[in-house]
Amino acid sequence: MIITLIRHLPTEWNKKTWLQGRRDIDLAPVSGEFANKINQNKERLKHQHFDLVLASTLKRTHQTARVYGYQPETEGLLDELDFGPFEGVPKNKLMEKYGEQWVENPKELVLGESLKNLEARIALFIKKYKDCHSVLVFGHGSWIRGFVSYVNYGDINNMNKIIVENNQCITLDVEMSE
C-alpha cells in the first residue's frame, strides 16, 4: 500500500505550541507561506490516483482536505492521541513531566489514552486498508509520527524522534505481511 500522509494545517493552538489532542480546533487563516507549500503539495499530488481519501473525526483534518480540494471519508482510527490533562497547555509542560520517557519509551505512557492504544489503532488501520493500493490521509502530528515509526521500526517508540510539521506531506510504501 502506498500511503500519503498530510498533517493538518496549523491552528491557533499550534502557533502557541499548545497540545490539541482530541480538542476539535478550527484551522487558523492560511498564511502566504502555507499557501505556497499547499500549492507545492498539490502539484506533487496531482499525478497520483488515490483509491481512498481519509481524515480523522476532527474538523481540522477535514478543513485541510477541503483546502486541498478533497472530500474525505471519516476514519476514527486516525484521531489524534488523547493527551488528557495536557490538552490546551503548552507542549513544554508534557516535556517537563515526561521528557525522557516521551522521547525514549513513549509506548509505556498513559495520558488521556495509552500510547499502546495509539499503536493498536495504527496497526488496525494498516490491516483494515491493506487491500487498497494508494491512500491519502489528512491526519495529526502524533498519529503520523507513530505511523512512520511503526512502519519503519516495527513499533511507535521512535515516534517522538521524528518531526512532522503542519502541512508536511509524507509518502510511504507500506509492506503488507500476512
Task: Record the pTM.
Answer: 0.96
**pLDDT per residue over 26-37, tens digit each?**
999 999 989 999
Q: Which long-range contacts (CB under 8 A, 24 or more apart) does 12-19 make?
A: 13/88, 14/166, 16/90, 17/90, 17/91, 17/92, 18/88, 18/89, 18/90, 18/91, 19/83, 19/86, 19/87, 19/88, 19/89, 19/90, 19/91, 19/94
Q: Is residue 84 part of a domain?
A: yes
pLDDT in tens, 80-114: 999 999 999 999 999 999 999 999 999 999 999 99
Does 177 fall in a domain? no
- The answer to whether residue 175 is domain-embedded is no
Q: Is residue 46 part of a domain?
A: yes
Residue range 158-173: average pLDDT?
97
How many domains is the chain built from? 1
- Domain span including residue 127: 2-169
Banded pLDDT at 177 (limits 50, 70, 90)? low
Identify the CATH number of the domain in which residue 69 sits.
3.40.50.1240
